[in-house]
Structure 1
Amino acid sequence: MTATPATSAASEQSYSPPERDRRTPLRDVLGLVSLPLLAVLVVPGAFAGGGTRRWFGGRADGQRAEAQAAKDAAANAFYELDTAQRDLRISIETISAVDDTPAARRAVSDFEALGRRIDEVSNRYIQAIDAYDLERDDLEAAVAARARGEISGAKDELVRVKGELDRFADSLGPLLGKAETQLARLAPAVERARQALLAASNALDAVRATPIGADDLAARLAALAPELTKLNQGAGQHGVQATLERAGRVQREAEAVRVEAERLPEKAAEIDHRLVSLRTRAQALTTRAGQVDPVLSELRRRFSAACWQDLQQVPRQAAENVRQAEQKLKEAQGARDAQRWADATSLLSTVRALLNGTDEAVSAAGDRLARLNAVQKDPQAETERTRFAIRDAQRLAMSGRNSPDPRHARPLDDAVARLERAVGSLEGRHPDYWHFLTETEAVRQSVARVVGQIREERGTGRP
């Protein structure tokens, strides 16, 4: 018996031997009775008076009956083994179609080895059946006994191999369950991909009915056509795992096209709004940039060079940034008109970055003058603000302690000294107020780091 695909239910109910069995004249594989060509054997003493046939009986008939029973049992074992092998082949084909892991490949190899073992015991069974004609009238008791022994031995081998096959089938449970799960996912996954493609096509048709062309989305959707063809060809041609992956990819890409198509009208309106808004902002910055020169003039007149030297390039840089922004706005308008939405969005982001930088630079000049005016009028306010931060940190460092931790005390002492030096720098005919402001701000930042360290250590229970 060779490992063959499962037959129809009808063929399993009315069993026929494998193909090579039918090529061998086996009259009695399943216990079928074939009539001899010669109905009457001419044997001396075969007939008694009146033509009555003399039948063999006694011990020979008993051995013949036992041999026939062994033959029937062997035929049943042969049929059960063949049926189990056919059923298991379906399971193996299911696993190999889905799973390419080492465990799955090992299962296929083990099944092939079992198939060879099944062939061996099946050939022995067929040879044992073929070797004896249990319907012969002159069958001797010794021959019948020998037939019973060989057929029973073949049957026992069939039963043992059937047990091996059953145990192997039980061991395939996890692999088969995984494979069946993937097969169960296959049809829904393919259907979801088809529905996603249909939804994307409908969304694209709707947006293209407006003045928006969406040619790039149409090209992306068209690129999915070969993938749909492969999905329609099925897992039998491309494999279950590859088909599942392809279905998921097609679904994701089609849904992305649908979402973008549905958002296109909103995106077009958003780009139009940003174009108008950024043009207005560029014009406003042009006006504000023109006000930087008077601010710089006042800074130069009232404060030392250190307070304003870093702002000297602001007017020129602001004018250049605004010029570049206006050029990018023209390019963005062209991209929007050509419905190159990604390009338009990218160009508008560049314009926004240019204007943000210009806004900060122009604002910095005015903010500098305001802060310098404040500190020139009342430097003590900035000093007290910084001293308060230091004292607050010192109280926290001493909380619950008789003496501060050197890790905290040292940076706080440094902060006190740094503040005193900053205050001292204001003495003289032309004090550097900007240096004073930057120093006090740096002192507050260093104090804040110490406070954060103390709170973190106490929060974790460290001393």
Structure 2
Amino acid sequence: MTATPGTPSKQPYPPSSAARPPRRPTALRDSLTLMSLPVLAALGLSAAFAGGGTRRWFGGRSEGQRAEAQAAKDAAAAAFYELDTAQRDLRISIETITAVDDSPAARRAVSDFEALGRRIDEVSQNYIQAVDAHDLDRDDLEAAAASRARAQLSAAKDELVRVKQELDRFGGSLGPLLGKAETQLARLAPAVERARQSLLAASNALDSVREKGLRADDLAARLASLSPELTRLNQGAGQHGVAATLERAERVQREAGTIRAEAERLPEKAGEIDHRLVSLRTRAQALTTRAGQVEPVLSELRRRFAAACWQDLQQVPGQAGENVRQAELKLREAQTARDAQRWADATSLLSTVRALLNGTDEAVSAAGERLTRLNAVQKDPQAEIERTRFAIRDAQRLAMTGRTNPDPRHARPLDDAVGRLERAIGTLEGRHPDYWHFLTETDAVRQAVARVVAQIREERGGAH
């Protein structure tokens, strides 16, 4: 509302006794009164007939109409005030919603409030015009004019009341939107405070690790990148919006918490890298010694077994030596990175060293294991044969459990395994048997049988 009606008129009060002139003695006063009555009567009649400036008195009916009009005016003023107050309160609710919510429902609420505002302006203008159209304080107010004023003011009041009811209903419909908005606003201040505290904790954690001689430059740079976000948080939701400020506060808190955790773990991480450097350096030295033992193993394999048993191991000594040299080079680079406190680089280099040493260890171990297995099968091939046959028979019993005839899906691969084992046994005949081919075949047969067993158990487990 933009206009405010005038204040109700005030009836003049009679003069106080202090303003009255002092009375004359009684005898003199009475004589003057008796003498003045004919004169006053004559003056009064003369003035009445001459149309003088004295007030016209209309009697009780006119004053009654004036009082009723004044009552209607007061009632309309009260309705106007109540509507104005309700509109102001509801505008605060709408502003709360729009500060948080940009959903279609929120935009529709704003549009409906604006439409109600136009309706309020209309009835308010009607009320103000009704007030301005009638001067209830006029001395010569006629009864008919007072009656018209009462009617117009009563109609204006009724309009104000009806619009107030519409406004109340609309305000009631805003409950869910307003509740959601108020919830988010209630989260705002704590979220911003948590973000600030997280930034402070991260800064303190960095100071602590620096006191231990660790620079943590990358963490410091990440923390510095959050400074603009803190500035925006300090500028407040009024400038950036509640939803955006909440999201920013939560992100700052999360990222600052990560920086703090990494800073607190930095001394432990440095210790782990130091330990890995020592451990991998020792392992590389041990592998250098073991790699030197591969050549004698190969020599024995070449002397006692067919070429097919050792040809794939010919490159192991050279490759092992090269891998160890590469590992030692990467170890030196990792030590340099650690000294420069480039923790990510040091960790990556150490992972490369570990992979190189793992591959070398497997290759060196493979040569020794090959000789051990070939020695065992050369001495007693029957043990490997019986081990494989037992696996096949065990699978066949499982396939026949609860059945008269085996399932072809199980029987076929088991029959194939039997034939494959017999062919592998056949390769042992001759002056220079290929024991390594025999061992790889029996391994493959057992693996095929294990797959059939797993399939049977899976199917029977699903059936139950």
Whether the aligned pair in 2 keeps the contact of 1:46 and 1:53 (CA below 8 Å) is no
The letter of the residue matching 1:248 is E
- Partner Cα distance (1:377, 1:141) in 2: 138
Whether the aligned pair in 2 keeps the contact of 1:318 and 1:361 (CA below 8 Å) is yes
Kindly report which structure 2 residues correspond to 1:220-235, keeping only aligned pairs within 5 A, or say none.
220-235=222-237
What's the offset of the Cα at 1:233?
A: 1.9
- Partner Cα distance (2:184, 2:77) in 1: 38
Q: What is residue 195 of structure 1 aligned with on the other side?
A: 197
What's the offset of the Cα at 1:306?
A: 2.1
Q: Is 1:90 aligned to 2:67, yes or no?
A: no
Q: What is residue 293 of structure 2 aligned with on the other side?
A: 291
What's the offset of the Cα at 1:311?
A: 1.5
Q: What is residue 303 of structure 2 aligned with on the other side?
A: 301
Whether the aligned pair in 2 keeps the contact of 1:46 and 1:54 (CA below 8 Å) is no
Kindly report which structure 2 residues correspond to 1:386-425, keeping only aligned pairs within 5 A, or say none.
386-425=388-427
Q: What is residue 269 of structure 2 aligned with on the other side?
A: 267
The letter of the residue matching 1:302 is R
Deviations 1:74-105 (A, max 9, x none): 22221111111111111111111122222222
Do the aligned partners of residues 102 and 457 (structure 1) sit closer, same or farther apart at CA in structure 2, a change above 3 Å counting? Answer: same
Q: Is 1:450 aligned to 2:452, yes or no?
A: yes
- Partner Cα distance (1:356, 1:144) in 2: 108
Q: What is residue 125 of structure 1 aligned with on the other side?
A: 127
Q: Is 1:31 aligned to 2:19, yes or no?
A: no
- Partner Cα distance (2:301, 2:267) in 1: 50
The letter of the residue matching 2:402 is G
- Partner Cα distance (1:160, 1:438) in 2: 96
What's the offset of the Cα at 1:329?
A: 0.6
Q: TM-score, normalised by structure 1?
A: 0.86
- Partner Cα distance (2:311, 2:9) in 1: 116
Q: What is residue 181 of structure 2 aligned with on the other side?
A: 179
Q: TM-score, normalised by structure 2?
A: 0.86
The letter of the residue matching 1:171 is S
Whether the aligned pair in 1 keeps the contact of 2:9 and 2:137 (CA below 8 Å) is no
What's the offset of the Cα at 1:360?
A: 0.7
Q: What is residue 162 of structure 1 aligned with on the other side?
A: 164
Q: What is residue 144 of structure 1 aligned with on the other side?
A: 146
**Corresponding residue SS for 2:405:** coil
What's the offset of the Cα at 1:53?
A: 5.3
Whether the aligned pair in 2 keeps the contact of 1:95 and 1:104 (CA below 8 Å) is yes
The letter of the residue matching 1:334 is T
Whether the aligned pair in 2 keeps the contact of 1:47 and 1:54 (CA below 8 Å) is no
The one of 243, 249, 252 aligned to 2:251: 249
Q: Percent identity?
A: 83
Q: What is residue 365 of structure 1 aligned with on the other side?
A: 367
Q: What is residue 4 of structure 1 aligned with on the other side?
A: none
Deviations 1:126-155 (A, max 9, x none): 122222223334334443333333322222
The letter of the residue matching 2:236 is G
What's the offset of the Cα at 1:47?
A: 10
**Corresponding residue SS for 1:460:** helix
Whether the aligned pair in 1 keeps the contact of 2:55 and 2:139 (CA below 8 Å) is no
What's the offset of the Cα at 1:395?
A: 1.7
The letter of the residue matching 1:31 is P
Q: What is residue 217 of structure 1 aligned with on the other side?
A: 219
Do the aligned partners of residues 218 and 34 (structure 1) sit closer, same or farther apart at CA in structure 2, a change above 3 Å counting? Answer: farther
Deviations 1:14-49 (A, max 9, x none): xxxx3xx25xxx54xx534498xxxxxxxx98799x
Q: What is residue 381 of structure 1 aligned with on the other side?
A: 383
Q: What is residue 102 of structure 2 aligned with on the other side?
A: 100
What's the offset of the Cα at 1:452?
A: 1.7
Deviations 1:419-449 (A, max 9, x none): 2222222222322222222222222222222
Q: What is residue 116 of structure 2 aligned with on the other side?
A: 114
Whether the aligned pair in 2 keeps the contact of 1:128 and 1:154 (CA below 8 Å) is yes
Do the aligned partners of residues 299 and 123 (structure 1) sit closer, same or farther apart at CA in structure 2, a change above 3 Å counting? Answer: same
**Corresponding residue SS for 1:136:** coil
Q: Is 1:432 aligned to 2:431, yes or no?
A: no
- Partner Cα distance (1:365, 1:450) in 2: 32
- Partner Cα distance (2:430, 2:158) in 1: 116
What's the offset of the Cα at 1:282?
A: 0.6
Deviations 1:149-204 (A, max 9, x none): 33222222222222222222122212211111111111111111221222222222
Do the aligned partners of residues 397 and 47 (structure 1) sit closer, same or farther apart at CA in structure 2, a change above 3 Å counting? Answer: farther
- Contiguous gaps of at least 5 residues in structure 2: 13-45
- Partner Cα distance (2:47, 2:387) in 1: 141
**Corresponding residue SS for 1:133:** coil
Do the aligned partners of residues 70 and 46 (structure 1) sit closer, same or farther apart at CA in structure 2, a change above 3 Å counting? Answer: farther
**Corresponding residue SS for 2:447:** helix
**Corresponding residue SS for 2:463:** coil
- Partner Cα distance (2:368, 2:392) in 1: 30
Bigger-Rg structure (1/2) = 2
Q: What is residue 80 of structure 1 aligned with on the other side?
A: 82
- Partner Cα distance (2:227, 2:11) in 1: 63
- Partner Cα distance (1:203, 1:188) in 2: 22
- Contiguous gaps of at least 5 residues in structure 1: 2-17, 36-43
- Partner Cα distance (2:242, 2:338) in 1: 44
Deviations 1:243-262 (A, max 9, x none): 22222222222222222222
- Partner Cα distance (1:221, 1:120) in 2: 57
Let me know the Cα RMSD of the aligned residues.
2.5
- Partner Cα distance (2:9, 2:297) in 1: 118
The one of 339, 352, 355 aligned to 1:353: 355
Q: Is 1:313 aligned to 2:290, yes or no?
A: no
The letter of the residue matching 1:273 is H
Whether the aligned pair in 2 keeps the contact of 1:299 and 1:307 (CA below 8 Å) is yes
Q: What is residue 43 of structure 2 aligned with on the other side?
A: none
Number of equivalenced pairs: 431
